[in-house]
A and B are shown apart, each in its own frame.
Chain A
Amino acid sequence: MATNNAISPKSPEIIDDVPMGIEDKHPPSNPSKLTPLFVVEPPRGWVSLQLKTLWAYRELLYFLVWRDVKVRYKQTALGVVWAILQPVLMMVVFSIFFGKFAQIPSDGFPYPIFTFVALLPWRLFAGSLAMAGTSLVMDQGLITKIYFPRLLIPLGTVFVGLVDFAIAFVILLGMMVYYGIALTGAIFTLPIFVALAILTAFGAGLWLSALNVQYRDIQYIIPFLIQVWLFATPIAYPSSIVPEQWRFLYGLNPMVGVIEGFRWALLGQTSALDISAFISVVIIVILLASGLIYFRRMESTFADIV
């Protein structure tokens, strides 16, 4: 039967879609009879990314991020202090157990700053991934009642962590002054590594959020995944302690390149930024592209199965 695709993972064909209100100042325009403003048809074939539509909905993206940022520390006693407290406490714990007791090397830097430099991008990544992964299910009220490009939901969540990151970054700068570490010109490459951390979270978040719509198992997998990922990333230890024969496999974790990039950009670590940064970029592109394709294919079914 030709009509067998009620929940097939495909997307609608939507032509030139713009949210209303952008141009429709008062009297309704007189649309041409020949070209409909939009067409809804059964999903079929490959679909575009709808970049134009995404752009048209940029204000909604802004408001979704704004909402999540506003709500983040509502009704907490310490409020935004948590954005500082969490990475600082983790740094303290890591410094005591890994730096002091386990005597893990730190490439010649004081252990606290060595690990803090890595904790910031890690928390940005892990927080964004956790939020993106459950975002569609959290916003199912919107998905079942309003039309907009669903991509906005996981996309919005990855920006939320940036606020925490920016706040904690001030602490990092303070620590660098304290430890007498001078900034180098490499710091100007930092935004690239921030972007890579976000893109990694977004790419993985696309997969997880779309899968979570159908399989709620994902929400239990995410914390576990993040924990394993933490061990597989050089945060508490330098990547130099990874045995040579494991290096390639290890480098497939895109966060390895991101963290090393951070250490390089901020601490001016000489050894870093080798081939691993390049591999990271390749992996991130693959993750992102496949995530986008999967998400767009599943998008049309979200409202029906969430």
Chain B
Amino acid sequence: MSDLAIRVTNLGKRYHIGERDNHRTLRDVIANSIKYPVQVARSWLKQEEHPQATKNTIWALRDVSFEVNQGEAVGIIGRNGAGKSTLLKILSRITEPTTGRVEGYGRVGSLLEVGTGFHPELTGRENIYLNGAILGMTRVEINRKFDEIVAFSEVEKFLDTPVKRYSSGMYVRLAFAVAAHLEPEILIVDEVLAVGDAAFQKKCLGKMSDVARQGRTVLFVSHNMTAIESLCDWAILLDEGRSVSKGSPRQVIPEYLQEAFSSLTQQVWLEQAEAPGNDDVRIHRACVRPLKVNSSNLITVHTPFAIEFDYWNLQGDNNLDLSIHLINEQGILVFDVGRVERPEWQANDVPLGLFRDICYIPGDLLNDGMYRITLFVSKDQREIYRAPDILVFDVQDTPGMRGDWYGKWPGAIRPTLKWTTQQIG
């Protein structure tokens, strides 16, 4: 059996809602001290919370326990807000847990952000020393690795330029170069690989797997399942602060994908009176469903899928038209489509009753990411009703097709197009 690197027992962390945003003002404290002098004094003396403050709390992390052996690379996955960052912050000793205990058997180096402590006015050379010291390296150590860091960063020419004049790419490369030469026994890495270009990412990942291979322990948070799958020995899935699954990446990743992206792929309104709409039209059901039904029922970049709307037409001889806007996570309108042809049975207007419109979206068209759909209903070419964000769904990336590259595929869409190569000379 290998030696233990980290033991986490019943770890919990409670935050006060709004704590991060609302800085309490002195006025409140003074007002409270006058209103509740005894309680305030007692809470200060006994280090208890103010009686009023016990409400509105949220457990960012709850009863999390696990053990990591030396030399293991462990992935921590979960949705945004699942507690991943809180866990890393406690393991890095940036913040304290509310309950539980962490035992660490080795020096910890954490990399929660690329370029922590970089000062824009200082030169690249100066920032290497500053950042190195902040990350926990000694001056001797930095001196020893200086050339290596510079070579890794590819910014030799600009070493004596203040980093505020760097391009963002250079900045990130330099910052990562310093961090990559950190040699702690336990390395804690938050999602930092999503930066830089493909070649640089490859270099960084290579460096990380070197670290893991040297027998160092790595705890790694990422939304990038491909990276988790290739780097980690096992993974922990967090959901709402609890650890819901542990095991090999192969086993945990599908659980995560399924749980994370049930989003808003179907909405049904049974009562016509309560359904969204107006006197002309009301929506009965809206859904997104994959057409190739696979075991996980997911939509990947390759899956053809359908967007369906069931609606009641409430007026006779209504000339109704439906159209949808598909909006990606950057807020870009990817497309605006509507019905191309009128159904044959419908001479002119839509009769009273319940109807179903289906829009078919082919596979290998959309890029991966979250998408929102806004439904528009128009009558005689005039918009009469819109349902913003009526559906929200995720198009998953599929591992395996991308070679060494772990970054987000660029582009609003990601079609598979016909492409030929022939020798012509």
Contact = CB atoms under 8 A, between A and B. Distances in A.
A171 B393 CA distance: 70
Interface in A47-75: 59-60, 62-63, 66-67, 70-71, 74-75
A303 B116 contact: no
Contact of B119 (A21, A62, A67, A300): A67
A59 B141 CA distance: 12
Contacts of B184: 20-21, 24
Contacts of B97: 40-42
Contacts of A304: 15, 19-20, 95
B129 A24 contact: no
Interface in B1-27: 3-4, 7, 12-16, 19-20, 23-27
Nearest to B60: A6
Contact of B134 (A28, A40, A142, A144): A142
B169 interface: no
A257 to B, nearest CB: 30
A24 B183 contact: yes
A23 B351 CA distance: 82
B117 A6 contact: no
B96 A38 contact: no
A20 B110 CA distance: 11
A215 B23 CA distance: 6
A31 B102 contact: no
Interface string B44-72: 00011100001001000000000000100
Interface stretch (A7-15, A87-95, A97-105, A235-243): A7-15
Interface in A260-302: 297, 300
B249 interface: no
A18 B107 contact: yes
Interface residues of B, number: 70
A215 B141 contact: no
A28 B129 contact: no
Given A5-B49, A12-B96, A304-B95, A21 B104 contact: no
Given A8-B47, A28-B185, A217 B122 contact: no
A67 B130 contact: yes
Contacts of B139: 59
B48 A4 contact: yes
Nearest to B185: A28
A38 B23 contact: no
Contacts of A74: 121, 162
Contact of A5 (B23, B26, B47, B130): B47
Interface residues of A, number: 60
A14 B215 contact: no
Interface string B95-124: 111111111111111101100110101100
Interface string A23-48: 01011111111001111111100000
A22 B109 CA distance: 13
A254 B359 CA distance: 79
B329 to A, nearest CB: 25
A202 B105 CA distance: 35
B273 interface: no
Contacts of A297: 47
B372 interface: no
Contacts of A18: 107
A247 interface: no
Nearest to B43: A8
A18 to B, nearest CB: 7
Contacts of A22: 138
Interface stretch (B86-94, B238-246, B383-391, B410-418): B86-94
Nearest to B93: A147
B133 interface: yes
B235 interface: no
Which of B19, B92, B98, B113: most chain A Cβ within 10 A?
A: B98
B334 interface: no
B216 interface: yes
A217 B101 contact: no
A63 B129 contact: yes
B141 to A, nearest CB: 5
Nearest to B9: A41
B93 to A, nearest CB: 4
B113 A31 contact: no
A217 B217 CA distance: 43
11 contacts: A3-B98, A4-B54, A11-B96, A20-B182, A24-B184, A28-B70, A32-B105, A38-B93, A39-B101, A147-B110, A214-B23
Given A24-B184, A142-B134, 16 more contacts: A3-B12, A5-B49, A6-B13, A12-B93, A20-B184, A29-B185, A31-B185, A40-B101, A41-B97, A42-B97, A59-B139, A74-B162, A145-B112, A146-B92, A303-B89, A303-B95
Interface of B: 3-4, 7, 12-16, 19-20, 23-27, 29, 47-49, 54, 57, 70, 89-110, 112-113, 116-117, 119, 121-122, 126, 129-130, 133-139, 141, 162, 182-185, 214-216
Interface of A: 3-12, 14, 18-22, 24, 26-33, 36-43, 59-60, 62-63, 66-67, 70-71, 74-75, 141-148, 214-217, 297, 300, 303-305
